[in-house]
């Protein structure tokens, strides 16, 4: 039996999203017989190999994971191993610095950080990124494709650099995109999005806010009016800052996102029209589950690769609530990255996920 034609590599496997990415790639039917390569960071060039299961014991027995190692980083390994696509589950600053060199090596990149998601400098400023060569970075930025398959699958298939969306942004954009396309929203009344995420959305390194003693038995709002995913909402939905209020909250649960979006419609609308609007928009989107008038719950989508959507329409036919739920580590990160890989290679986008 011949080896699969494509070689994948992952940088940043030590985090929560990196672990999920490793699990999905090791199980992917198109990659059997050719395990992903896991690399350390450049400063670890003189380091030693580490067993993947030492970092993530839960992967033991996962399609040969016990024999997979995380290798010391070497740029020349990309060419020697004939890597086709690199996944970056790394900090924003690191992704911003690495992508130019990765593209020079001729590999395609799926970046799970926020380094390349935003086209407008005013939106990108929240990341405080510094480019060694600003002109080259701007050229790369113009070629980056926002990796939300439900909106950009054709562009993703041709991309050299895919910028995986933020988890909150994925839920809110998918909740609003069908209504915005049909110009049903009365933007004069504004959109309100009340979003909540499990603690893993903040990453693996604990902080005073994500420490168990703070997060347990608690609910708190944070980054009000300046959350870094807000720019994604504005750019991808064609909105202005005055059109939407987005408030994230920290839930005392490990994972999952619950976004409640409050909308005033332009005119009186029936539930059947809302149902048709969403069904038509997502007819060819296998990783979106439309629940209609049954409102999704976190427990439906957690540990799955789906975004679940449902709605409630007031009796006046104009006040609409859309609820979106997803797993922030999967459809909000790792499984969306694999969905994008499938598109890059011309495979069904739900392969290895559903």
Q: What is the CATH number of the domain that holds 197?
A: 3.30.360.10
Each residue of 269-286: pLDDT tens digit?
Answer: 999 999 999 999 999 999
Each residue of 146-162: pLDDT tens digit?
Answer: 999 999 999 999 999 99
Q: What residues does 191 pair with on adjacent strands?
A: 244
Of 108, 127, 107, give the one whose Cα is nearest residue 118.
Answer: 127
| Average pLDDT over every residue of 316-339 | 98
**Residues labelled as active-site residues:** 167
| Average pLDDT over every residue of 298-307 | 98
List the domain range (segments joined by +) for residue 204: 167-326
Q: Distance (Å, rounded) from C-alpha 182 to C-alpha 168?
A: 23
Average pLDDT of the chain, as a whole number: 92
Q: 252 and 133: one domain?
A: no
Q: Distance (Å, rounded) from C-alpha 310 to C-alpha 289?
A: 9
Whether 281 is in a domain gets the answer yes
Task: Count CB neighbours of 169 within 10 A.
Answer: 27
Q: 122 and 206: one domain?
A: no
Whether 177 is in a domain gets the answer yes
The per-residue pLDDT for 1 is 43
> How confident is residue 43, by pLDDT bands cut at 50, 70 and 90?
low
Q: 98 and 50: one domain?
A: yes
Provide the CATH number for the domain around residue 22: 3.40.50.720
Each residue of 188-219: pLDDT tens digit?
Answer: 999 999 999 999 888 787 787 888 888 889 99
Q: 103 and 220: one domain?
A: no
User: Number of structural domains, the chain?
Assistant: 2
Q: 20 and 157: one domain?
A: yes
Contact 163, 292 (CB under 8 A): no
Q: 191 and 138: one domain?
A: no
Whether 135 is in a domain gets the answer yes
Q: 68 and 15: one domain?
A: yes
Residue partners of 195: CB distance under 8 A and separation at least 6: 168, 171, 172, 246, 247, 248, 249, 257, 258, 259, 260
pTM of the model: 0.94
Each residue of 235-248: pLDDT tens digit?
Answer: 999 999 999 999 99
Whether 349 is in a domain gets the answer no
Task: Say which residue the tokens 């309100």 belong to.
Answer: 192
Q: Distance (Å, rounded) from C-alpha 38 to C-alpha 15?
A: 13
Q: 219 and 243: one domain?
A: yes
Q: 173 and 313: one domain?
A: yes
Whether 2 is in a domain gets the answer no
């Amino acid at each position: 039996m011949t080896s699969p034609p494509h070689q994948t590599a992952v940088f940043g496997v030590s985090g929560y999203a990196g672990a999920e990415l490793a699990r999905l790639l090791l199980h992917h039917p198109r990659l059997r017989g050719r395990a992903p390569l896991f690399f350390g960071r450049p400063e670890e060039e003189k380091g030693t190999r580490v067993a993947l299961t030492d970092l993530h014991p839960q992967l033991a027995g996962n399609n040969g994971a016990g024999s997979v190692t995380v290798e010391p980083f070497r740029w020349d390994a990309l060419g020697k191993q004939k890597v086709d696509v690199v996944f970056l589950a790394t900090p924003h600053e690191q992704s911003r610095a690495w992508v130019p060199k990765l593209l020079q090596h001729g590999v395609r990149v799926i970046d799970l950080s926020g380094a390349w998601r935003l086209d407008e400098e005013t939106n990108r400023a929240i990341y405080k990124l510094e480019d060694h060569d600003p002109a080259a970075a701007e050229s790369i930025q113009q070629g980056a494709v926002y990796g939300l398959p439900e909106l950009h699958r054709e562009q993703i298939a041709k991309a050299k650099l895919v910028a995986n969306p933020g988890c909150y942004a994925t839920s809110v954009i998918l909740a609003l995109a069908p209504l915005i396309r049909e110009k049903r929203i009365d933007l004069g009344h504004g959109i309100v999005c009340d979003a909540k995420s499990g603690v893993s959305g903040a990453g693996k390194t604990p902080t005073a806010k994500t420490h168990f003693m703070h997060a347990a038995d608690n609910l708190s709002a944070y980054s009000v009016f300046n959350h870094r995913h807000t720019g994604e909402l504005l750019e991808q939905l064609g909105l202005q800052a005055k059109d939407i209020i987005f408030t994230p909250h920290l839930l005392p649960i490990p994972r999952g996102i619950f976004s409640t979006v409050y909308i005033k419609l332009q005119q009186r609308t029936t539930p059947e029209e809302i149902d048709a609007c969403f069904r038509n928009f997502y007819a060819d989107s296998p990783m979106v589950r439309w629940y209609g008038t049954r409102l999704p719950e976190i427990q439906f989508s957690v540990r799955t690769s789906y975004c679940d959507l449902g709605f409630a329409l007031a009796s006046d036919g104009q006040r609409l609530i859309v609820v979106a739920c997803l797993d922030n580590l999967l459809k909000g990160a790792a499984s969306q990255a694999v969905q994008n890989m499938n598109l890059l290679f011309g495979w069904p986008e739900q392969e290895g996920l559903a």
